[in-house]
Amino acid sequence: MPNRRSILSLGLVATMPLAAPALAQTYPSRPIRVLVPYAPGGNSDTMMRLIQPRMSEFLGGATIVIENRTGAGGALAAGVVAAAPADGYTLLFDAASFLIAQFANRDLPFDYETAFAPVALVGELPYVLAVSAQSGIRDFPGYLDAARKVQGGMPYGTPGVGNVGHLAGALLSFRSGIPMEHVPYRGGADVARDLSAGTLPSGYLGSSSIKPALEAGRAVAIALTSGERRGGIEGIPTIAESGFPGFDLTSWNALFCRSGTPEPVRARLEAAVAHATADQEVRARLTASGTTPMPADSAKLTERLTRERAMLRQLIRDTGISFG
């Protein structure tokens, strides 16, 4: 005869198949917090705010609160998510620096490779190498000529330590043999501000951040970091086609949850992102901001992360880049 414990166990097993659908139906039951590791007005912030309304729509009108938490190359925001409960209510919306942060911050209390579960990719974009209009530089060859004359290295600003712009500057310095000095900021909007003021000669940043300065004539876009022309700024050559074949560094933005988040919750978030990125108005606005909509599910995003981590390890070994 079965005892009371075995009866209770059988009852628990019998209800388990119903738990997943029930959890998916009840999630979310309170506001969702999304940490963005970059300043307001930058590309990552802009992209998350574009998909926010459609995600909320899919999730039954759920409140999605976006919180900008800058610092430590994105690790401050990631640390908040890594320490939160694995319940889908504290998420991370990060860029390609998500991969770089593990190399830039050696003493983190969490592991980027194990602390987070990929939800979905939203889009990708090249970084733009831009110069201040006051610099007198008007094209990429002119930039290299000017850089050769700067004692101590040509300063270039980026939205922080360990982002694609930081790597692009280090790679260009390595391949050209010209010293370059990295100047980290808290976001792309801050880089654009100093380019416009003429206090920074050059910088790598997303096209949405630099476009206002370009349109006002206070900055000049001279090259793209991607292997092919994209990003919504017409007529700008790539670094690859300007004498450095194979040069290809492209940023992206994706949503992550905590590892251990129940699969029905993660899947529901993935579906919410898919709903948002399928919206034609959202896609048009992403394109206008310089982002190529590139929705990808968690499986494809996981494959991309694995591939790009290996590439970054090699790039860091080749360039000897410092994250100090």
Q: Return the pLDDT at 15.
A: 47
Q: What would the mean pLDDT of 281-298 be, rounded to a whole number?
A: 88
- pLDDT tens-place string over residues 109-154: 999 999 999 999 999 888 999 999 999 999 999 999 999 999 999 9
Instruction: State the pTM of this model.
Output: 0.78
The answer on 276 and 226 residing in a single domain is no
Give the end of a domain, one of 183, 213, 242.
242
* 46-96 residue pLDDT tens: 899 999 999 999 999 999 999 999 888 789 999 999 999 999 999 999 998
For residues 119 and 256, membership in a common domain is answered with yes
46-60, 98-112, 256-270, 297-311: lowest mean pLDDT where?
98-112
> How many other C-beta atoms are found inside a 10 Å radius of the C-beta of residue 197?
12
205, 159 Cβ separation under 8 angstroms: yes
Residue 145 domain flag: yes
Is 5 inside any structural domain?
Answer: no
Q: Does one domain contain both 304 and 212?
A: no
Report the domain count for the chain.
Answer: 2
Q: pLDDT band for position 42 (50/70/90)?
A: confident
Q: Are residues 133 and 271 in the same domain?
A: no
- Rounded mean pLDDT of 228-246? 87
Please give the average per-residue pLDDT across 182-199, as a whole number.
94
Q: Which of 242, 276, 293 is the last residue of a domain?
A: 242
Domain-embedded: residue 314 = yes
Tokens of 218: 């206070």
Summarize the confidence of residues 164-180 as an average pLDDT.
94
Pick from 134, 75, 138, 68: nearest CA to 104? 75
Counting residues of the chain whose pLDDT is more than 70, the rounded percentage is: 91
Confidence grade of residue 22 (pLDDT, cut at 50, 70, 90): low
Is 263 a member of any domain? yes
Model pLDDT, residue 7:
38
Whether 14 has a pLDDT exceeding 70, the answer reads: no
Q: Do 222 and 291 share a structural domain?
A: no
Of 242, 275, 296, which residue is a domain's last? 242
Are both 80 and 132 inside the same structural domain?
no
Length of the chain as a residue count? 324
Q: What is the mean pLDDT of residues 103-107?
A: 80
Between CA 154 and CA 165 the distance in angstroms is: 14
The residues, ordered by sequence, that sit 6+ positions from 312 with a Cβ below 8 Å of its Cβ are: 99, 100, 103, 167
Q: Which domain holds residue 134?
A: 126-242
SS (H, E, C) 45-89: HHHHHHHHHHHHHHCCCCCEEEEECCCHHHHHHHHHHHHCCCCCC
Identify the band that residue 186 occupies on the pLDDT scale cut at 50, 70 and 90.
confident
Q: How far apart are CA 211 and CA 48, in angstroms?
A: 18
Q: What is the mean pLDDT of residues 290-312?
A: 89
Cross-strand pairs, 296: 121
pLDDT of 170 higher than 80: yes
Return d(Cα 139, Cα 143) in angstroms, integer.
Answer: 6
Q: Residues 152, 155, 156, 158: is their CA dihedral positive or negative?
A: positive
Chain centre distance of CA 50? 15
Weakest-pLDDT range from 163-172, 295-304, 313-322:
313-322
3-state secondary structure of 253: strand
Let me know whether 264 and 118 are in one domain: yes
Same domain, 87 and 161: no
DSSP letter string, 168-222: HHHHHHHHHT--EEEEE-SSHHHHHHHHHHTSSSEEEEEHHHHHHHHHTTSEEEE
In whole angstroms, give the CA distance from residue 296 to residue 99: 17
Task: Judge whether 42 and 93 are in contact, CB under 8 Å.
Answer: no
Average predicted confidence (pLDDT) for the chain: 89
Q: Which amino acid is at 82?
A: A
Please name which of 106, 61, 120, 95 lies closest in space to residue 277, comparing C-alpha atoms: 120
Who has greater pLDDT, 162 or 32?
Answer: 32
pLDDT at 209: 87
CA dist., res. 297 & res. 267, Å (int): 9
Amino acid found at 19: A
